[in-house]
Amino acid sequence: MLAMAADFVQIVGFPIFVEGAMSPADSLLDMVVGVILIRLLGWHWAFLPSLMAEMIPGMDLFPTWTAAVWFVTRQRMHAGEPEILPPGPAPEARR
């Protein structure tokens, strides 16, 4: 929700954030969002391209934070979930 809210604010508040990296409001918003996302989800390399894209004027119109969070959360396997093996012969038991 945080990533979607940040992208929404940047898209709706386009006149405030139009300068890209030159806008102090844009830089502050991106830094705060990046820190909070890392605190919530842990460090992931997908956050770096999002932060870099946010520094390019006009790229605020693309929901980069939302895309990064979607990518990060889809890559994780949660404890307690069964491991899905590809079709084929069963692996040998570990000893």
Those residues with Cβ within 8 angstroms of residue 26's Cβ, 6 or more apart along the chain or in another chain: 10, 16, 17, 19, 20, 54, 60
Model confidence pTM above 0.85? no
Q: Is 81 left (phi over 0), alpha (psi -120 to 50) or beta?
A: beta
User: pLDDT per residue over 13-60, tens digit each?
Assistant: 766 656 655 667 777 888 888 889 889 888 888 888 888 887 777 776
Cα(42)–Cα(14) distance, rounded to whole angstroms? Answer: 29
Q: Number of helices (H) and strands (E) in the chain: give both, helices first.
A: 5, 0
Measured distance CA(78)–CA(95) in Å, rounded: 25
Evaluate whether 11 touches 60 at the Cβ level (below 8 Å). Answer: yes
